[in-house]
Structure 1
Amino acid sequence: MTGQLSGRTAIVTGAASGIGRATAELFAARGATVLAVDRDEQGLAELSVPTLAVDLAAPGAAEEVFDHCAATVGTPDVLANIAGKAGDRSAGDTSDEDFEFFVRTNLTTTFALSRRAVHVFDGGGAIVNTASSFALTGVAGSAPYSAAKGAVASLTRQMAADYGRRGIRVNAVAPGLIETPATRAKIASGIFDDLVTRARPLPRVGTPEDVARVFAFLASDDAAFVTGVTIPVDGGWTSTHFRD
C-alpha cells in the first residue's frame, strides 16, 4: 500500500499519541505530506513529520492550523479529525461544565476544522472524522461523550450531503476499545473484559494501527465512491450479539 496517499497533504489532529500518532505515521509512510497537530509538544517532538502545537479549543485555532499548513507543507486536501476526549458518566451525574467540555473537545473542534476545510479544499478533498462505537449503541454511563460523538456522526452525514458535489468526501471512523496511553491502565485492570472484549466475535483489544488503516483508506482514492458513512472499527462489538 506504499504510495496510496502520494500527492496528498494531510492535517492529522490528536497526533501526539494513540490513534492520531499511528494515523500520522501511516499517512506519511503511504506517501502523504503530513502536518501533525496536538497541544502536547513533547509527544509531537517524537514524530518525524512536521508538527504544530496548538490548543484546538482556543479561538481561531482552526484558521491557525490551516494557515500554518499552507505556509509550511502546502495547501491541505485531507483532514483527519482525531483529537478528542473520552469519559464515563451518566446524564444525571453530568454538570453543565462537564457537558460543555465533552462537546467542545469532541464536537466543536471537529466542526471548526471541518468548516475551515471546506473553504480550503477548492479542488476536492477528504475529511475523516472520529466518532465512536458509543455513538452507535447505548452504553450506560457515557452520556456526554456519547452525545458529542453521536453529533460527529450526524455532522459527517450532513457535510457529505452538502459538499459531495464539490468533490469533498466526508466520512467517519467509529473506534471501539483500542489500546492507547489513555486506555492502557484500564485494559490491564480487566474492567473491559466482560463488557467489551469477551462480548464481541474478535476478542483481542484493538490497536491504533487497526484504526489508522481505516483512516488511510477513507482518505485515499480507494474510497473514491464512499461518503457519508461511519465505519465501526470495534471487532464486531456494535454489529453483533456475542456470548463467550
Structure 2
Amino acid sequence: MNAFEKGNPAEGQLAGRIAIVTGAASGIGRETALLFSSRGAQVLAVDLAAEGLESLAEQAERQGSPLVTHVQDLRAERAAQEVFDVCRARVGVPDVLANIAGKAGDKSADSTTDEDFDFFVSVNLTTTFRMARQAVLHFEEGGSIINTSSAFAVVGVGGSAPYSAAKGAVSSLTRQMAADYGPRNIRVNAVAPGLIETPATAPRIRAGQFDDTVTKARPIPRVGQPRDIAAAFAFLASDDSSFITGVTLPVCGGWSTTRYRA
C-alpha cells in the first residue's frame, strides 16, 4: 500500500516539483526518491549502480509513482552538467536537488593516507559542491538544495577523521550558499543523519556493534530508518520550510543534540 492509498496527509506535498536525487540506488537516497515521487514530485534518480536503479524504477512503478533513472559516476569531471542536462531533457527544469550520494568510513587521522583523504573529500564534498553549483545555474525561479551532512559533523567521534572533515565542510558550504542565493529564492539546507539502518550498516547494527556508543546514548532508542531521513528531505524540499535556509537539521534520535545516559 502506498502513501496515496493510506490517505497520507502529506499527499501532494511536492506536487509540481522536479527533483534530482543522487545516491538513489539504495539506502537513504532510494527511500528519498520513492517518497518524493509518492508525494507528487517528478524525480530523476541518479546513481552509479545500474541494477539498484533498475529495481528502484520497478518499485516506484508498483507503488504508482514512476520516476526516471540515470546512471552516473558523480566523480567524473562533467558529471554534474550531464545530470542537469539529462533532467531538463527527460523530466523538466529542476527546482529541487537532494544531494545524498556519499560514503562513510572509519579512519583516524594518523591512519588516513593522502589517497584516503582525497577519496572521502571527493565522494562527500566535491560531488556535493559540483551538484549544488550546477543547481544554482539551472534553478530559473528559485528552488531548494538539500545537502547531506552528518551527526559526525557536529560531534567529535573517534576514528572518523576524513569523513567528519568532509561532512563538516558540507555544513559550512550549506550556510555559505544560503547567504549567497537566498535573494534568488534558492534555499540551501542540509540533513545530518545519525546511525541509520541501510545495507551498509545493517550487519553491524544486528551484531550490536553500536549498542553502547549510539543506541544507549540517545533518548530515542530505536534504530533510525531511511524513511526518517527521507521525510526530512521532503520537508526541506517543500513549501512547509519556505522560511528556512542555511540550517543543518540533525535527524539522529537525539544522539548529537543531547547528553543522554540510559
TM-score (norm. length: structure 1)? 0.99
In the alignment, structure 1 residue 190 sits paired with structure 2 residue 208: yes
- For 1:52-201, list aligned pairs within 5 A: 52-201=70-219
Match in the other structure for 1:22:
31
Listed as ranges, the gaps of 5+ residues in structure 1 are none
In the alignment, structure 1 residue 11 sits paired with structure 2 residue 20: yes
In the alignment, structure 1 residue 2 sits paired with structure 2 residue 20: no
Paired with 1:120 and 1:44, the residues of 2 have a C-alpha distance of 24
How far the C-alpha of 1:153 sits from its partner, in A, is 0.3
Count matched residues: 244
Listed as ranges, the gaps of 5+ residues in structure 2 are 1-9, 58-66
How far the C-alpha of 1:189 sits from its partner, in A, is 1.1
Q: Deviations over 1:58-89 (max 9, x none)?
A: 11000000000000010100000000000001
How far the C-alpha of 1:188 sits from its partner, in A, is 1.0
The AA in structure 2 aligned to 1:9 is I
The AA in structure 2 aligned to 1:27 is F
Paired with 1:234 and 1:53, the residues of 2 have a C-alpha distance of 30
Q: Calculate percent identity across the aligned residue pairs.
A: 68
Paired with 1:211 and 1:56, the residues of 2 have a C-alpha distance of 21
In the alignment, structure 1 residue 35 sits paired with structure 2 residue 44: yes
The AA in structure 1 aligned to 2:140 is D
**Residue 250 of structure 2: which of 229, 232, 243 is its match?**
232
How far the C-alpha of 1:28 sits from its partner, in A, is 0.3
Paired with 1:59 and 1:171, the residues of 2 have a C-alpha distance of 24
Paired with 1:235 and 1:224, the residues of 2 have a C-alpha distance of 24
- Secondary structure of the structure 1 residue equivalent to 2:144: strand
Paired with 1:163 and 1:136, the residues of 2 have a C-alpha distance of 24
Structure 1 runs of 4+ aligned residues shifted over 3 Å read: none
The AA in structure 2 aligned to 1:207 is Q
